Amino acid sequence: MKLHEVIVLINGRENLLRIFRREKHERFPRNDDTYFMMFPGEWGGPWGKGDDKQTDWFGIHWTAVPNQGQMVTETGEYLVSDLESWKQAVQIPFDELESYDWIADAARQTENWDRGRQMGAMILLGGHFERLHSLTGFEDALMSFYLAPDAMCEFFEELTKYKIRSLQKIKEFYNPDVVIYHDDWGNQKNMFFDPKQWRQYLKPYVKAVIDECHRLGMYFEMHCCGHFMPIMDDLVNLGIDSTQTLQYPQNDIETVKKLYGDRLVTRGGYDGQKILAPGTSDDEIRQTVRYSLETLAPNAFHIPYVYVIGTGFEHAMSVVEDEVTRYEKELFGL
């Protein structure tokens, strides 16, 4: 039997599960047979329904910004002006979490999920730092590491309890295969805070979420934009199953492959900014995509996924997909 005949017998779900199980797989996962995306209750309005404006369970108002996604609505003020008094300004929405109609929402969101062909992915937005700065503003969130560390940890402790209970609801009513946890920690060249501060103030709570996700039998995929190489070893040792979007050149993908290629599913790894930059030619897109694929894919567990938004998105993605297909034929002998 020829290789391509074997591949036909393995559907997208099984192929992707093999990647997460660190087993031999037969091809790259494709957008139409990989993740079936879902959003939990607190985000079901702003993201799941595509509304232009929406208030989430924490009382944060969001606005859709063209080519950027949902952003906190600019009002000049934030809900929390003094983190020491955060409990007087905002409540962790445990009540909403318990009273939400999970049965109805799960029926709506999973209606078109072909469980036999697709892996289900629940996107858990608003990680610890993201949620903090949505409440306080970005500058005050960063200053909290220096001026209000005890209050910040108190907030993170309660938020972690909320995240863990959210995971339990997600497992019970949606039963996805993987949870994609969003928390951006870096810019183009550095992390937003000293890696030592991340280890002291964020790592214990991230670990608790990862552990609960695994206890419930779901894979954990860490979404982090920007530079986070200084804590990559920490994350791998915490047991994350996958990382995305693993932006290059913000992160050293050659080192990631060398050190963690057999322990970590890599998703993305592209120079997304170059792909969408005005004036980038199709050949230049192909070159940067090819570099990422040749670096991360051979003898490893790689998902050639890239998430970029902006002007020219459709054309750029078509070039990316075509180059992925070309390289796939070379790598897998299709």
Answer whether residue 334 shows pLDDT above 80.
no
Domain ranges (residues) in the chain? 1-33+268-334, 35-244
Q: What is the mean pLDDT of residues 135-142?
A: 96
Helices (H), 190-312: 195-201, 203-215, 232-238, 253-260, 272-276, 282-296
| Residue 243: predicted pLDDT | 96
| Residue 2: predicted pLDDT | 39
| Residue 42: predicted pLDDT | 81
Q: What are phi and psi of 181, to 5 degrees?
A: -100, 120
| Residue 300: predicted pLDDT | 94
**Would you say domain 35-244 falls under CATH 3.20.20.210?**
yes
Please compute Rg for the chain using Cα positions: 20
Q: What is the mean pLDDT of residues 114-135?
A: 94
Tally of CB atoms within 10 A around 129: 25
- Poorest-pLDDT segment among 47-51, 266-270, 278-282: 47-51
Answer whether residue 46 shows pLDDT above 80.
no
Cβ neighbours of residue 1 under 8 Å, at least 6 residues apart?
A: none
Categorize the per-residue pLDDT at 45 as very low, low, confident or very high, splitting at 50, 70 and 90.
very low
Q: What is the mean pLDDT of residues 312-334?
A: 88
| Residue 53: predicted pLDDT | 61
Give CA–CA dist 45/63, Å, rounded: 11
- 1: tokens are 């039997």
Answer whether residue 12 shows pLDDT above 60.
yes
Tally of CB atoms within 10 A around 237: 11
Amino acid identity for residue 245 in this structure:
T
Higher pLDDT, 64 or 53: 64
| Residue 71: predicted pLDDT | 84
First to last CA, the chain: 13
Q: What share of the chain is helix, strand, coil (3-state, %, to 5)?
A: 50, 15, 40
| Residue 305: predicted pLDDT | 74
Confirm whether pTM is higher than 0.95: no
Specify the 3-state DSSP secondary structure of 214. Answer: helix
| Residue 126: predicted pLDDT | 92
Answer whether residue 206 shows pLDDT above 80.
yes
Categorize the per-residue pLDDT at 307 as very low, low, confident or very high, splitting at 50, 70 and 90.
low
Higher pLDDT, 96 or 43: 96
Mean pLDDT of the chain: 90
